């Protein structure tokens, strides 16, 4: 018969009592009693205490980044926002992209950040001057005439005989080129002048800007009938 006395031997108990006489370290006593009075968190409680604020901070940070990104996207599409046609809205970013191609190309070649070149003239003065010849080789003759024009104008504005910094010239050139890639407000005042401008773009082998301008024209003047090219 098995009884509980078989599970309990006084000699073993005594030997164990003799062996196990450790006391709780005083610093542990202090910590636990301090915890009991609500003065101290547990080690794991302390780790958990970080989780919530960090999660909140991350959520707020991500939300702000998302809102900023959204607002920037809206800023980049002013034409699309003013138009009523959904198709125009869809095409607007592509048009903006097309208009900015040359500027982007110039900026990439000059290894200068886009925002710096266009919006921060004081910084431009500190930028290293570009090798004018190497830039000039990249453009065709008509492009170079624009460059020279910008150079002349910059020289006149600064009132000095020294040539203006090359980055400023390129920025001015890019601006002019942008204008050349699209029709201005005067051209867009009537359907006929607008279409004439589009024809001009086509003749200049700028098929994509011409197509975009035509779409804008049709959106603005739905009644406008494009003349048959054969007639």
Partner 1 sequence: MSANLQPIASPRHGGAIALCSEPALAYAQAMVHTPDDSALMLRYGDGDVQAFEILYRRHNDAIYRYLLRLSGHRDSADDIFQEVWGKIIKARKTYRPTAKFTTFLYRVAHNCFIDHVRRNKRHSNNTVLEPELHSDPGESPETATERSLARERLEIALTTLPEEQRDAFLLREEGGLSVDQIAAVTGCNRETAKSRLRYAVNKLRSAIDEPAETS
Q: Which residues lie near partner 1 (CB under 8 A)?
A: 2, 4, 6-9, 11-13, 15-25, 28-29, 31-33, 35-37, 42-45
Min separation Cβ 26 and partner 1, Å: 11
Residue 18 or 223: which CB sits closer to partner 1? 18
Kindly tell me which of 45 and 78 has the beta carbon lying closer to partner 1: 45
- Shortest spacing between CB 14 and partner 1, in angstroms: 10
Residue 139 burial (10 A CB sphere; 0-12, 13-18, 19+): middle
Is the Cβ of residue 29 or residue 152 nearer to partner 1 in the bound state? 29
Sequence-ordered list of residues with C-beta below 8 angstroms from that of 149, at least 6 positions apart, any chain: 176
Nearest to 179 by CA among 213, 148, 220, 214: 213
What are the tokens at 185?
């407000």
CB of 53 to partner 1, least distance (A): 20
CB-nearer residue toward partner 1: 28 or 62: 28
Least distance in angstroms from the C-beta of 58 to partner 1: 25
* Of 41 and 97, CB closest to partner 1: 41
Taking the least distance from each CB to partner 1, the nearer of 42 and 74 is 42
Q: Cβ of residue 54: shortest distance to partner 1, in angstroms?
A: 21
> What secondary structure, in 3-state letters, does 105-119 show?
HHHHHHCCCHHHHHH
The CB-of-56 to partner 1 minimum distance in angstroms stands at: 23
């Amino acid at each position: 018969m098995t009884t509980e006395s078989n599970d309990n031997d006084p000699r073993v108990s005594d030997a164990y009592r003799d062996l196990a006489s450790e006391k709780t370290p005083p610093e542990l006593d202090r910590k636990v009693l301090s915890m009991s009075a609500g003065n101290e968190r547990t080690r794991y409680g302390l780790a958990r205490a970080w989780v919530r604020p960090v999660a909140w901070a991350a959520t707020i940070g991500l939300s702000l980044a998302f809102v900023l990104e959204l607002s920037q996207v809206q800023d980049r599409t002013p034409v699309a926002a003013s138009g009523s046609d959904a198709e125009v809205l869809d095409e607007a970013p592509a048009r903006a992209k097309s208009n900015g191609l040359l500027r982007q190309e110039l900026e990439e070649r000059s290894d200068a950040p886009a925002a710096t070149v266009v919006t921060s003239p004081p910084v431009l003065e500190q930028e290293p001057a570009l090798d004018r010849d190497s830039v000039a080789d990249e453009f065709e003759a008509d492009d170079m005439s624009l460059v020279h024009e910008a150079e002349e104008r910059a020289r006149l504005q600064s009132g000095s005989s020294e040539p203006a910094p090359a980055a400023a010239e390129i920025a001015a050139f890019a601006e002019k080129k942008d204008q050349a890639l699209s029709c201005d407000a005067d051209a867009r005042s009537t359907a006929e002048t607008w279409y004439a401008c589009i024809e001009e773009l086509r003749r200049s082998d700028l098929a994509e800007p011409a197509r975009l301008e035509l779409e804008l024209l049709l959106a603005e003047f739905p009644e406008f009938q494009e003349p048959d090219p054969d007639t």
